[in-house]
């Protein structure tokens, strides 16, 4: 069962959960893939509710988003499986089926084509509005050194319109 929510009522929960991390899930063809994100912006742009994700160019997730410009944001409520989280934050969907390895149960979406994840129940269904490539060369030296000297690829901002928001709950009774 999905309980519809007003995303602004959960803004604090979503933003606080980004540290340690939440999930961004994509689907292209038959493949579903989730990666951990620690960066994200929840807000309002072009009079629409948006979630902006910051995905490095070399991520498989970036390729998936370019193939199908929709994603879900999946936020844990309470305890979650650390092993599953670690799989999604360290392994690539290029090499393996992370959904199977993490033992996730996929939940049929309401509006877009990308499913939610029962184990990370607060769900935002997002449809891409805009894609913007960052230029790390324009950043200050301290940030460049910290974020772009080991992994050298820049981030791409994916602005997703939040078209549906809900919490996946167990059926009662």
Ligand X SMILES: Cc1cc2nc3c(=O)[nH]c(=O)nc-3n(C[C@H](O)[C@H](O)[C@H](O)COP(=O)(O)O)c2cc1C
Residues that bind ligand X (CB under 6 A): 20-21, 33, 35-39, 54-56, 59-61, 89-94
Q: How far apart are CB 78 and ligand X at their closest, in Å?
A: 18
In this complex, which beta carbon is closest to ligand X, that of residue 60 or of residue 80? 60
Angle at CA of residue 131, ends 38 and 144, nearest 5°: 50
Q: How far apart are CB 53 and ligand X at their closest, in Å?
A: 7
Burial environment of residue 138 by CB neighbours within 10 A (0 to 12, 13 to 18, 19 or more):
exposed
Q: How far apart are CB 166 and ligand X at their closest, in Å?
A: 23
Q: C-alpha distances in angstroms, 104 versus 34, 56, 107?
A: 10, 24, 10
Q: Are 74 and 116 in contact (CB under 8 A)?
A: yes
Q: Are 34 and 117 in contact (CB under 8 A)?
A: yes
Q: What is the CA radius of gyration of the chain?
A: 16
121 sits in which H/E element:
none
In this complex, which beta carbon is closest to ligand X, that of residue 9 or of residue 57? 57
Count the neighbouring beta carbons within 10 Å of the beta carbon of residue 168: 19
In this complex, which beta carbon is closest to ligand X, that of residue 60 or of residue 104? 60
In this complex, which beta carbon is closest to ligand X, that of residue 33 or of residue 123? 33
Give the residue from 51, 58, 57 showing the smallest Cα distance to 24: 51
Q: How far apart are CB 56 and ligand X at their closest, in Å?
A: 4
Q: How far apart are CB 173 and ligand X at their closest, in Å?
A: 37
In this complex, which beta carbon is closest to ligand X, that of residue 22 or of residue 122? 22
């Amino acid at each position: 069962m999905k309980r519809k929510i007003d995303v602004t009522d959960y803004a604090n929960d979503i933003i606080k959960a980004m540290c340690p991390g939440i999930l961004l899930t994509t689907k292209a063809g038959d493949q579903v893939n989730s990666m951990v994100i620690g960066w994200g912006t929840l807000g309002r742009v072009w009079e629409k509710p948006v979630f902006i994700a910051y995905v490095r160019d070399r991520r498989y997730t970036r390729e998936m988003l370019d193939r199908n410009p929709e994603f879900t944001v999946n936020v844990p409520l309470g305890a979650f499986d650390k092993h599953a989280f670690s799989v999604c934050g360290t392994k690539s969907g290029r090499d393996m089926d992370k959904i199977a390895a993490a033992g996730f149960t996929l939940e049929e979406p309401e509006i877009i084509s990308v499913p939610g994840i029962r184990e990370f129940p607060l769900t935002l269904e997002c449809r891409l509005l805009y894609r913007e490539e960052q230029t790390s060369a324009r950043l200050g030296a301290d940030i460049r050194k910290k974020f772009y000297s080991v992994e050298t690829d820049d981030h791409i901002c994916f602005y997703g319109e939040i078209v549906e928001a809900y919490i996946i709950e167990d059926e009662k009774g």
